[in-house]
Amino acid sequence: MLTEDVIAERLRESNTEFRELEASHHRLDLELNELQKRHVLTPAEELEKKRMQKEKLAKKDKLAELIRLYREQGLQPTAH
Q: What is the pLDDT of residue 39?
A: 87
With a pLDDT cut of 70, the percent of the chain lying above it is 92
pLDDT tens, position by position, 27-75: 999 999 999 999 899 999 999 999 999 999 999 999 999 999 999 887 5
Residue boundaries of the structural domains of the chain: 4-72
Predicted model pTM? 0.81
Contact between residue 75 and residue 69 where contact means Cβ atoms under 8 Å apart: yes
By residue count, the chain amounts to: 80
